[in-house]
Amino acid sequence: MRRIRANAIAILTVAWILGTFYYLWQDQKPQSVPSVAAQTRVRNHGQKGVPGRLEIHRDERTIPLIVTPPPQTEQQRQLLGSFDEKAYLSARQLKPGDDPYREHAFNLQESDRLGSERAIRDTRHYRCASLTYDSDLPSTSIIITFHNEARSTLLRTVKSVLIRSPPPLIQEIILIDDFSSDPEDCQLLAQIPKVRCLRNIRREGLIRSRVRGASTASASILTFLDSHCEVNTDWLQPMIQRVKEDHTRVVSPIIDVISLDNFAYLAASADLRGGWDPTTHTHTHIHARTHARTTPVIAGGIFVMDKSWFNHLGQYDTHMDIWGGENFELSFRVWMCGGSLEILPCSRVGHVFRKRHPYDFPEGNALTYIKNTRRAAEVWMDEYKQYYYSARPSAQGKAFGSIADRLTLRRKLNCKPFRWYMESVYPELRVPEQEAVFSLLKQGGLCLETRGTDGGLGLAECKSIGTNKLPSQKWELIEPLIRQQDLCLAISAFTAGSKVKMEPCNIKEPRQVRGRLLGVAEPEGKALSLPVDLHSYPHLWS
Ligand code: UD2
Ligand code: MN
């Protein structure tokens, strides 16, 4: 039935939460890391400070294995230039007795102990290793924004990029220090060849910081990373290849999990989009583990995008603050305005997923998140935004600033409606039947009610008892219509004083569109003015 069309943002949020839980769940069970060579478990060796040393546990036997030898001193010198890694890392050490989780919401002691580089398991499907890429791939600018990141995780992120990427593909690594307490966290790293450091003079949040980084990037392709990542073998080539072939693609790797407790590197499933279709042949299954597949949303932190496409599509919504929501906004915008989003199973990047934010939100965590997601919903979700509001009633009435420039952008880019996104990009989305939003429609203390069966309307004393509303006063808001069963509220004509009446619902009838039910209209002779936008008058809905 009609009311099945549903809670888009809630579903996407649920998908995101499920994804996160999935990762955390993986995190809880390091023993069951899916392995490329079946039944083989690989984990970080217990020996401290021996980079590159792994143990393979197979059939209860333990076979020590050197995977990637640590770079030799000469290589190290070339890689790091004049940068004094030891001094950088030892300048900030955890003091005995300090809580290792306090500052960063991960175990800093374990991170510091690991050193600046280590071998990690190649978590790709084995067929990925035999794929080939163009020899003339364009280079990329890596953009890493951070606020008070731990030095050991930040340095490991940077070094993993330098070690595990073909050097010609790395044009530069741009670090944006989002007003961290110690400017040297960033500045000292700029001594590493190819690394640049930009420092914000005030806290901007990750969205504006990324835009700043992107606007100074000199390569034609942008690669975004969080500041606590480790990139894996051949992570970059598959992504650049896909973007080179079609600049409107925005591509992400599979994000592996770096345990926030012991920093073990754990493989995420290559098929996070769920169930295995029993009708598909095994071959297709393998296919799915090496081939690009589209995705309705990306996690947001790690992706590759053509720079001119990023600019053409309006970069980011720079009125979003600190953290949150920008990944939905970018995902909707890319799809609706002519691009696509992909996940590439042959590209793997590890990330430390945390359970809380280790930093403050100047305007408060909840208000910031609501502001950002409201902006995404108001600009992109059309009539589906009502489901965002019914999932988050507290968002109603919270400030989200002007969205005029983003609406202009949407018009200028001639982007498709959200309905298209729901139907074409996410058709497999089966939404559970949604509780409709039933409300009273109040005007001047009286309630709008239907009278008889001939479409008559009137204002009368509100007659709800507790949460039970009188059927004749009970209105169902299913954007853009205001309904009672199969009849919808409509104005007779677009002239002041024209009557409000009930008529069979027709979504294409402008006289029934909520936003058009405006001005002074009279139901059965009694004056009734319906506001332009009921959402701007939340008191009308109770
Ligand atoms: C996830 C995404 C992240 C972003 C976020 C929603 C991944 C792996 N991460 O974040 O990229 O899409 O969801 O907004 O998909 N930072 C600043 N300034 C701030 C706050 C954060 O520069 O005011 C940096 C921070 O240091 C980190 C990055 O932004 O490098 C993302 O923040 P996070 O790691 O705390 O958030 P996470 O991983 O939950
Ligand atoms: Mn992160």
Report the chain's mean pLDDT, rounded to a whole number: 79
The DSSP 8-state label assigned to residue 447 in this structure reads E
- Give the closest residue (by CA) to ligand 1 atom 38: 353
CA 335 to ligand 1 centroid distance, Å = 22
Q: Which residue has the tokens 């081939």?
A: 291
Q: Which atom of ligand 1 is closest in space to residue 228's alpha carbon? A: 30
Q: Which of 15-19, 260-264, 355-359, 397-401 has the lowest mean pLDDT?
A: 15-19
Is 24 a residue whose pLDDT tops 80? no
d(CA 542, CA 539): 6
* Nearest listed ligand to the Cα of residue 253: 1
Tell me, what amino acid is at 333?
A: R
d(CA 208, CA 213): 9
Stretch 495-517: mean pLDDT, rounded?
A: 73
pLDDT value at position 490? 82
Q: With cut-offs at 50, 70 and 90, classify the pLDDT of residue 438.
A: low
Q: Which atom of ligand 1 is closest in space to residue 204's alpha carbon? A: 23
Helix H or strand E segment including 287 = helix 282-290
Q: Which of 61-65, 109-113, 393-397 has the lowest mean pLDDT?
A: 61-65
- Give the closest residue (by CA) to ligand 1 atom 34: 226
* Nearest listed ligand to the Cα of residue 301: 1
On the question of a cis peptide bond just before residue 393, with omega within 30 degrees of 0, the verdict is: no
Q: In which residue ranges of the chain is CATH 3.90.550.10 found?
A: 35-352
Q: With cut-offs at 50, 70 and 90, classify the pLDDT of residue 444.
A: low
Is 460 a residue whose pLDDT tops 90? no
Stretch 145-166: mean pLDDT, rounded?
A: 97
Q: In which residue ranges of the chain is CATH 2.80.10.50 found?
A: 438-541
Tell me what percent of the residues of the chain surpass a pLDDT of 90.
53
Residues with Cβ within 8 Å of 277's Cβ and at least 6 positions away in sequence, in order, are none
CA 359 to ligand 1 centroid distance, Å = 11
pLDDT value at position 538? 40
* Nearest listed ligand to the Cα of residue 227: 1
To the nearest 10 degrees (0 to 180), the angle between helices 404-412 and 365-380 is 30
Q: With cut-offs at 50, 70 and 90, classify the pLDDT of residue 280.
A: very low
CA 302 to ligand 2 centroid distance, Å = 9
- Give the closest residue (by CA) to ligand 1 atom 10: 301
Stretch 335-356: mean pLDDT, rounded?
A: 96
Q: Which of 290-304, 321-335, 509-523 has the lowest mean pLDDT?
A: 509-523
Is 11 a residue whose pLDDT tops 60? no
295 to 65, 96, 387, 446: CA distances (angstroms): 37, 46, 21, 48
Backbone angles phi, psi at 371, to 5 degrees: -55, -50
pLDDT value at position 16? 55
Q: Which atom of ligand 1 is closest in space to residue 229's alpha carbon? A: 8
Is 290 a residue whose pLDDT tops 90? no
CA 351 to ligand 1 centroid distance, Å = 11
Q: Which residue has the higher pLDDT, 499 or 168?
A: 168
pLDDT value at position 498? 64
Please work out whether the CB of residue 299 comes within 6 Å of at least one atom of ligand 1.
yes
Q: With cut-offs at 50, 70 and 90, classify the pLDDT of residue 463.
A: confident
Q: Which atom of ligand 1 is closest in space to residue 351's alpha carbon? A: 8
- Going through 232-373 in order, the beta strands assigned E by DSSP cover 249-258, 265-266, 293-294, 303-306, 340-351
Please work out whether the CB of residue 205 comes within 6 Å of at least one atom of ligand 1.
yes
- Give the closest residue (by CA) to ligand 1 atom 9: 301
> CB–CB of 420/337 below 8 Å?
no
pLDDT value at position 224? 98
The fourth-level CATH superfamily of domain 35-352 is Spore Coat Polysaccharide Biosynthesis Protein SpsA; Chain A (3.90.550.10)
CA 326 to ligand 2 centroid distance, Å = 14
Q: Which residue has the higher pLDDT, 120 or 297?
A: 120
Q: For ligand 1, pick from 323, 329, 351 the residue to mutate: most ligand atoms within 8 Å of CB.
A: 323
Q: Which atom of ligand 1 is closest in space to residue 301's alpha carbon? A: 11
pLDDT value at position 467? 62
Fold (CATH) for 438-541 = Trefoil (Acidic Fibroblast Growth Factor, subunit A) (2.80.10)
- Give the closest residue (by CA) to ligand 1 atom 1: 301
**pLDDT tens-digit series, residues 30-74:** 332 333 222 222 233 223 333 333 333 333 233 333 344 455 567
pTM above 0.80, yes or no: no
Across the strands, what pairs with 487? 484, 504
Stretch 157-177: mean pLDDT, rounded?
A: 97
Is 315 a residue whose pLDDT tops 60? yes
Q: What is the ipTM of this complex?
A: 0.98
